[in-house]
Structure formats: structure tokens, C-alpha cells
Amino acid sequence: MLKVSLVIVGGGPAGMSAAVAAYKAGVKDILILEREAHLGGILRQCIHNGFGLHKFGEELTGPEYAARYAEQVKELGIPYKVGTMVTKITPDKEITAINSTDGIMHIKADAIILAMGCRERPKGALNIAGSRPSGIYTAGTAQKYVNIKGYMPGKEVVILGSGDIGLIMARRMTLEGAKVKAVCELMPYSGGLARNIEQCLNDFGIPLLLSHTVVQIHGKDRVTGVTIAKVDEQRRPIKETEQYIACDTLLLSCGLLPENELTKGAGIDIDRITGGAVTDQNRQTSVPGVFACGNVLHVHDLVDYVSDEAEIAGCAAADYIAGIESERVDISVRPVNGVRYTVPQRITSAQDTVVYFRVSDVFRDKKIVVRCAENVISSKKKIKLAPGEMETVKLDAKVLAGIGTGEISIGLED
Amino acid sequence: MFDVCIIGAGVVGAMCARALSAYKLNICVVERANDVCTGASRANSAIVHAGFDAKPGTLKARFNVAGSKMMEQVCRELGVKYVRNGSLVLGYGDEDKATLEELYERGVKNGVEGLAVLDREGVLALEPNVTEEVTCALWAPTGAIVSPFGLCDAGLGNAMDNGAQFIRNFEVERIESADGVYTLYAGDQKVEARFVVNAAGLYSDKIAAMVGDESFDVHPRRGEYMVLDKAYTPSLTSYTLFSTPTPKGKGILVTATTGGNVMLGPTAVDMTDKEDLDTTAEGTASIREQSARYIKGIPFGGVITSFTGLRAVGSTGDFIIHASAPGFITFGGIESPGLTSAPALGEYCVELLGNEGLVLEKKENWNPIRKPSGWYRKLDDDQKNEVIAKEPAYGNMVCRCEEVTEGEIVYAIRTNPGARDVDGVKRRTRSGMGRCQGGFCSSIVVEILSRELGIPYEQVTKSGGGSIINYGRTKGGKDNA
């Protein structure tokens, strides 16, 4: 059996940044396992710009952003295998992987970083009535056809869901000559970034129909149209508002799901809200020595934050391998009052910690309040909060040391 | 000129072709779609009925019991997934118990082995997940689950390995008969045969009418299903669970499948349009409501897909099997238990054609065995590594959710009768059948089909006909992979 200090599952932005960080922190025996034929992950098909503003202070395209890290991986000589799919991870950190040159491999790791990313919610899970013709794609699949394969999957398009990939694809398909007739969003607000609504829909005159859904798919061989309807406050379609839109394509951008089948197989605790592992501030999961970062942990809206998170995991994995432990505390972080989840969910050492979270609805003029029992630890005003935009709150090392053992809550207050 | 032409590559057509391929005959199967198993055989409960349900004396009862007894061996020979998981008909109170006793008696008359009526404790001993409402059940240990697609694919594939021909995209529009020869026309194509087997499912009435047999009708009855993520199996149930039939109908079932997913359905709605495969909001709601009475804690959030099948319901209430014209055998109204009956119907087809004057002479070298389509998956790691060393494509994982390799996809395309579209690959390999529903793998499957079939990328379809996936190049588009 092959022995490696640190195995990183996934060579996308999270896996690559984690590898570089771990290497710089002293771990030289690293192996990145990537299922696609190239490093870069989903960024390879994200050819639009807007990546890297926080991290590099400039606007890069997805492939450019990925290349920055891929070049570092190659320059540092960090070993990686592409075309390699991990099929199993055990709780004692044995990995099974397969590719066409090595066959089936068994690898024993001292530490593992999970960086498998996420997948899109498919049509089947949406229970849309109607037929099952061709012409129904998740937005990311359509993006792969257009940007990687160079083919047009549709000419007249309706998009269900206003997640960022759907918005990006509305613009991309339009630029390629397709007619995007509408973007329907079940919720009364968009799940995408405000800048994407402006630049991808408004700039091209594509209507965003909030509180609307697709109730019926039409067509035998290929999609010929969809029936859409407005929904009431309980998100039930209102029959009288049904309207038919002729189209040959339905794109779905209805949410991203962290891909944690391997994680579950390793017996790691999963957060029911994020769909990712429960972790501490180091992104260490419930299995010591197994870390998670990026979209496999919780879905991010900016890759820059993925890189930040992966660096935390990479450095922590290096500490774990070196046997370094810091001052222990035991604090659980509880989301309350309009906060859906937090990452991390628990804090085990007294160090400056950034907690990421999302809110459950659109809120205006609220304060983000961190409390320990009745005491307010911090409070910051926010004019607008939306589920589509990830929020952060900083916790001070001294405060955490002062709490020692206990629980803190993060919630919205007037 | 063929000796026998079979119309329809559903499970009946496939089993007839296989049975006939054991004889020195020139056989062809014509199919209107781009693949085997695209009609009623595609979308059904995928179960092998024990045989307690059909009225004694009917063709349904006769072939159900005979087919059920043959199924295990046929599946072994063809390498098709078959699991004798047993079925339970759940009862809710004394009235149901009386009905279950009747079913028991009927089953015994039909020759079904091992039946037992259980009280609640007996049910719980087998299936602890049943709801609090369940008071009794009929236990049928010979109930089983099978892969309907596997049976069609391997059945026809085995017939082809033994010399039969398969003609796709051949929709019979009219039939002429002269001098003991039938000529079947489809567009500008034609096929001539001395004997014809009409296994055209929902359209068996229309085909029979082409040779003057207007003695029956077939109408579609919609059945909707929902499929749960494999993660919920087998903790949910490993059995096939029915509820006691009432005057209102047989109800739905909750069943394990050979693919590993638990499936819920079917609804039963009589229709007129034989092409309407829509799922409906009402159907979904009805399945949710009914299945919640069977077992506790069905995770409806774990539904990965839903689909509709159309049963071919004959106007007599029984299977309709007769000679529509000399040398022209019709299988009409093959609804449930049609899948179970299919192997026995194949044998019966040979007998009927013999009665019509077909000369039957056994082949000495007939091979009933087909290498299991899932052979690679059954290997251990060392054996897989030997395969990968020779054929590296078996190390290239294409479908992440169901862990299907490029080698398996190529095998599915190259092996009789061979996948020709994305759905065909999906049904043979399960690539795209998992929780992401083809989100990641479909573009790669399109690429492999394009390469293997030698057709342009944009001509690859989802399921034949006009179901194209791409409309051609982007502006100045090229492959950037």
C-alpha cells in the first residue's frame, strides 16, 4: 500500500490552495488526486471574469485564477494525479482510487483534505411535471457544452432558478446568439449575487420573474416549451397565472449540493443545513486528521473565499502532521435568529477566527450579534443581508480564550 | 426474406426472439424506437409477481406462474439482475385480512408456493419499518425483482448472438400479405417475412388491424413512479410492499429494485393518448400520500427522479394471444403481469408458430448464455487491475455517482444489441442514473458515443429521433478540453 503524508481529494481551487499552503507550512509528501484530466476543477469552464478581486486585487477569468494555483503546484513540484477518481475513504484514512494507468490504488494517509466541490441539484429532485425530452440541462452542464466542448445546447432558453451559474449562463447563451426568454425564481428574491443580476440579466434585458416557477415541461423528443406560473406565499403555483413559453431548452440553476458521499463513507459527521462536514476553525472534521474546505464544506459565492478557507485547512493539516497543538477551548457556535448555518460549527483553539454564515431570508437594517449566554461579544450593523451573499464575523482569540468551554450564538437583531 | 419478423423490441418481443433463435430460422426484430425496451417494458414496477393476484383460469394466471418459475434461470443464463426479495401485501384491519385470505386461496389455486398470511408480529419480524397501522400481511417468498431493461437487452442480445437481426427506427405503417409472405412497410424501408409476431405493446391493436384483426383494443393506463437516492436503501426496505387491493384499485407499491434504489408507485389513470408520458403534480402527491401508509420515514427529499409508464391494457381484461391471420401471432394487452410472464410467452410463441405451420428444427449450437453486461463490476480489485492493464478505459471513471468507467460504456455500445444514444448507455450501465442525473457525465457519454458510432458530436441524441442534445458549434467553437 502506498503511504503519503497528506492526500488532497480534488484538484480544483480548494484542493490546489490547500496543497500550496500545506507545502509552504512544511509538508512535502503530498498527493493531489483529481478526477478530471486537468487541475482546475469547475473554474476551467467559468470563462467569465470577476475572480480574484479579493485575493489578487485584479479581475481574472476562472481559468486564469485556476492557473495561478496550478502553476504554483507545478513550480513547487507538488505531486498530483489527474484522471483519478477516489472511490472510498475509510475512517482510518485509507483511500481507494482508480485511474487508467495505475489501476486501482490503495493509499494510506496521515492526513486528508477533502476538496471535492459540489454538484448541481438535478431536474429529478425538483419534481417538475411533464415529459422527459432532451433539452433540459443544469446550468453547469450547459456551461461545459458551450465553454469546454464548443457546442450550443440550445437556441431558445428559459432558466429556472437564479443561482449564479444560471445568471452567468443567461448572458453566455445570449452572447452566443441564443434567446433567453426568462429567468424564473421560486423565491421572492434571487439566490445569486447582485452584481450578476445587474451584469448578466439587466444589461441584456432578460426578465427576472421572482416568485415564479416552471409547472410543466412540454415536448416529446426535444423540449418545445414550458408552462410557468406565479407562486403564492407558500410557494404553491397559482393556476390562473399560468403562461406558456415556447422554447427548446430549460436550464436549471436551483442550488448546489456539496458532494459528500466519500465523507459520509468515512463516517464523518455532516451538518444537515450545509450538507458538508461539521468542522472546527481549522476545518478539521469529526475524524481527526481529515479536513474539508471549499464547496464540499459549504457552498461559497466567491472563489477567493474558497482559497482563504483552503489555506486554513492546508496549514492546519500541516500542524496535525507535525503534531502541533494549540491552546484548547471547546466552544460550539450556534446559528440563531435568521442565521441558517455557520462554518465552523465549533471552535477548539483560542485563535483569531473568522466565522462564515448565511442568512435564511432577505433582511434590512439588522445587526449581526454574537452572544455568549446573555453577553454581547460583538455587534455590527448591516443595511442589507440576503441568502445569496455569504457573511462573515470575526472572533477575537482573547475572547475565545476567556470563554473556554461553552456556546456562542450568532444571530440577527434589530 | 425472413422466416419470422417480430414487431416490437419490448420484453415480449425480446423473449420471443430468444426462444425462436434456438431454431434454424432467419429472424428479425423491428422496433420503431432507437433502442430495445422503450415502451411499457421501460417503465413498470420491475417485479416478478408471485402469481396470487391473477384470477385462476386466465392467461394472466397461467403465464404469471409459469414465467415466475422460469425467471431465475433465464436471468442466470442471460446475466440479468434478479433478486428473490419476497413480497408482502400489507393489510389494515379485519376487512383487509379477509381479502388477504382470499388472495392466499387464489395463490394456492394458481400454484404459488410458500404463501402465508401473517399477523402484525409476523410482519414486523420481516419488515420492522411498516407503519403502526399495518395489522397483517400476505407473505409471498417467491416474489422477486428483476431488471426489465436487462431482460430486454440481454434477451435480444442473446438472440442476436444466435443469428437474429435487429432493425431500429422501423415503425410499421402498413402490412401487405401475398402468397404466404407478409411485407411490412416503414417509410421507404420494407421487411418481408413468412411469419409475423405482433409484440407491439400499446400499438398491438393497430398492428393487428393492419391484417384485418379488429377484435380488440388496447388503451394506455398511466403509472407514475418516484425513485429514491440509493443512500436510503436497504435501510428503508428490501421487500416489495403492496397494499391489500380494494374495490378502488390495487394501490401503489414500495419496492426495492435491482439497481439499488427504492421505488414508489405506480398510480393508475386511464388515458387515451398513447404517447403521453407526462408526470403530474397530482400523481406525485398521490404517491406521497399512499406510500406514507406503508413504511415509516420515507425521505421524500431524497427523490432523485420520477417517471411515467403506460400500461398496455387490453379490452378483454386478460392477455389477448391469438393468430390475427394465418402465420401472424398477436400478443395484445400484455399489461401486468407481462414482465413476469415474458419468458413463458416466448416459449408459447414458438408453440403457436409451430401450430401455424412454422417448421421448427433445433440448432445444435444454440448458446443460451450471454456474458453478464455487468461482468466488470463483479471482479475483485486484482482482476480489475488485470483488465485495466489491457484496456486502460476500464480505469477511466466517467460517471461518479454510479461509478461507471469508460470501458463499461464502450462495452455497452459494442455488445449486441448495442447502445446508440445517451439513454441507451444509461439503461445499460447506469451512467447518469445516480443522484446527479447525468450532470457531470452526459457530455462525456456524448463524446464516447460520437467516437464509437463515428457520428458528429451534435448528432448524438438522448433517445433517438429528434432528441438532439446540441445544435452545432458555438461562434468559432472548438473543443477546449
Which of A119, A229, A131 is closest to A163 using CA atoms?
A119
Q: Does the distance separating the beta carbons of A103 and B388 come in below 8 Å? A: yes
CA-closest candidate to residue B327, choices B211, B230, B203: B211
Residue B68 carries which DSSP code?
Answer: H
Q: Do A146 and B278 touch (CB under 8 A)?
A: no
Distance (Å, whole) CA B396 – CA A84:
8
- Hey, is the C-beta of A104 within 8 angstroms of any chain B C-beta? yes
What's the pLDDT score for residue B476? 77
Q: Alpha-carbon distance A262 to A264, whole Å? A: 5
Q: Does A295 touch chain B (CB under 8 A)?
A: no
Most A-contacting residue of B232, B384, B441, B469 (CB-CB within 10 A), to test interface = B469
* CB contacts, 8 Å: A151 with chain B: 457-458, 470-474, 477
ipTM here = 0.94
Q: Do B279 and A129 touch (CB under 8 A)?
A: yes
In tens digits, what is the pLDDT along chain A, a chain of 414 residues? 899 999 999 999 999 999 999 999 999 999 999 999 999 999 999 999 999 999 999 999 999 999 999 999 999 999 999 999 999 999 999 999 999 999 999 999 999 999 999 999 887 778 899 999 999 999 999 999 999 999 999 999 999 999 999 999 999 999 999 999 999 999 999 988 888 999 999 999 999 999 999 999 999 999 999 999 999 999 999 999 999 999 999 999 999 999 999 999 999 999 999 999 999 999 999 999 999 999 999 999 899 999 999 999 999 999 999 999 877 899 999 999 999 999 999 999 999 999 999 999 999 999 999 999 889 999 999 999 999 889 999 999 999 999 999 999 999 999
User: What is the pLDDT at residue A122?
Assistant: 84
C-alpha B3/C-alpha B164 separation (Å) is 11
Query: A372, A282, A305: which is closest to A336 by C-alpha?
Result: A372
From residue B122, alpha-carbon distances to B90, B139, B237 in Å are: 12, 9, 16
B108 pLDDT band (50/70/90 cuts)?
very high
Nearest CB to A127 within list B306, B439, B469: B306
SS3 labels along B131-164: CCCCCEEEEECCCEEECHHHHHHHHHHHHHHCCC
**Alpha-carbon span A50 to A65, nearest angstrom:** 10
What residues have CB less than 8 Å from B448, skipping those under 6 apart?
B398, B406, B409, B410, B413, B425
How far apart are alpha carbons A221 and B354 in whole angstroms? 40
In one letter, which amino acid is B444?
I
Question: Which residues does chain B have within 8 Å of residue A146's beta carbon, measured at their own beta carbons?
Answer: 474, 477
Residue B21 confidence (pLDDT) above 90: yes
- Give me the total of CB pairs closer than 8 Å, taking one residue from chain A and one from chain B: 152
Q: Which residue has the cell 390562473?
A: A240
Q: Which of A83, A103, A149 sits opposite B385 (nearest CB)?
A: A103
pLDDT band at B481 (very low <50, low <70, confident <90, very high): low
This prediction's pTM: 0.94
Average pLDDT over residues B179-204: 97
Decide if A134 and B463 are in contact by the 8 Å CB cutoff: yes
Instruction: Enumerate the residues of chain B whose CB falls inside 8 A of the CB of residue A216.
Output: 278
Hey, what's the cell of A336? 440563531
What are the backbone dihedrals phi and psi of residue A17, each rounded to the nearest 5 degrees, phi first? Answer: -65, -40
Say how far residue B75 (Cα) sits from the centre of its chain.
13
Average pLDDT over residues B255-266: 94
Please indicate if any CB of chain B lies within 8 Å of the CB of A230: no
pLDDT in tens, B153-184: 999 999 999 999 999 999 999 999 999 999 99
Return d(Cα A161, Cα A184) in angstroms, integer: 6
Paired sense of beta strands A225-230 and A208-210, if any: unpaired
**C-alpha cell belonging to residue A264:** 459520509
Which strand (E) or helix (H) includes residue B377?
A: none
A264, closest residue in chain B (CA to CA): B231
Task: Indicate if the pLDDT at residue B479 is higher than 80.
Answer: no
Residue of A nearest to B465 (CA): A221
**What kind and span of H or E run contains A58?**
none
**In A353-390, which positions are buried (b, 16+ CB within 10 angstroms) versus exposed (e)?**
bebbbbbeeebeebebbbbbeeeebbeeeeeebbbbeb
**Residue A153 DSSP one-character state:** -
- Give me the residue label for grid cell 409459469: B66
- pLDDT mean across residues, chain B: 95
**Sign of CA pseudo-dihedral A324, A328, A332, A333:** negative
Strand-pairing partners, residue A129, are A216
Kindly give, in sequence order, each residue whose CB lies less than 8 Å from that of residue B381, ignoring residues fewer than 6 positions away.
A104
Could you tell me if A145 lies within 8 Å of chain B, comparing CB atoms?
yes
Residue A220 grid cell: 416529446
**Angle, vertex CA A312, rays to CA A311 and CA A316, nearest 5:** 115
Pairing of strands B2-7, B27-30: parallel
- What is the amino acid identity at position A293? C
Cis ω before A207 (30° cut-off from 0): no
Cis ω for the linkage preceding B337 (within 30 of 0): yes
Class of residue B187 by CB neighbours under 10 A (exposed 0-12, middle 13-18, buried 19+): exposed
Q: Which A positions 164-183 lie with beta carbon below 8 A of chain B?
A: 176-177
What spatial distance separates the first Cα and last Cα of chain B, rounded to whole Å? 48
- B426 — phi, psi (to 5°)? -60, -45
Q: Residue B440 has what pLDDT?
A: 87
- Residue length, chain B? 481
| For helices A303-322 and A13-24, angle between their N-to-C axes, nearest 10 degrees | 40
Q: pLDDT at position B231, please?
A: 80
Q: CA A344 to CA A312: how far, in whole Å?
A: 12
Q: Which amino acid type is present at position A190?
A: S
Q: Which residue of B has its CA nearest to A253?
A: B439
Among B473, B420, B477, B472, which Cα is nearest to B449's? B420
Report DSSP letters for B407-434, one per residue. HHHHHHHHSTT---SHHHHHHHH-TT-S
* CA-angle at A272, arms to A268 and A275, nearest 5°: 70
CB spacing of B443 vs A123 below 8 angstroms: no
Domains by residue range for chain B, with CATH: 2-41+148-217+316-355 (3.50.50.60), 82-147+219-312 (3.30.9.10), 375-459 (1.10.10)
Nearest-CB residue to B385 (from A104, A145, A215): A104
Whether the ω angle into residue A237 lies within 30 degrees of 0, i.e. cis, is no
**Residue whose C-alpha cell reads 453486461 in the numeric block:** B373
B219 given a catalytic annotation: no
Of A104, A122, A264, the CB nearest to B436: A122
**E runs forming strands in A153-198:** 156-160, 179-185
B84 HSE (CA, 13 A, CB side): 14
Span B385-428, pLDDT tens digits = 999 999 999 999 999 889 999 999 999 999 999 999 999 999 99
Name the residue in chain A with its Cα closest to that of B462: A134
**Closest residue of chain A to B457, computed from CA coordinates:** A151
* Site from A100, A224, A264 to mutate, B interface, most B CB atoms within 10 angstroms: A100
Q: Whole-angstrom Cα distance, residue B408 to residue A397?
A: 54
- CA-based nearest residue to B442, from B395, B393, B388, B404: B404
In A, which residues are within 8 Å of B472 by CB distance? 151-152
Q: Are strands A118-120 and A103-114 parallel, antiparallel or unpaired?
A: unpaired
Q: Determine the Cα–Cα distance for residues B41 and B46; give it in Å rounded to an integer.
A: 9
Return the pLDDT at B60: 96
| CA gap A203, A194 in Å, rounded | 13
Exactly one of B49, B60, B230, B427 is catalytic; which is it?
B49
Q: How many CA atoms lie within 13 A of B106 on its CB side?
A: 19
B419-474, pLDDT tens digit by residue?
999 999 999 999 998 888 888 899 999 999 999 999 999 999 999 999 999 999 99
Alpha carbon B345 to its chain centroid, in Å, reads 14
SS (H, E, C) A226-283: EEEEEECCCCCECHHHCEEEECCEEEECCCEEECCHHHHHCCCCECCCCCCECCCCCC
pLDDT band at B480; cut points 50, 70, 90 = low
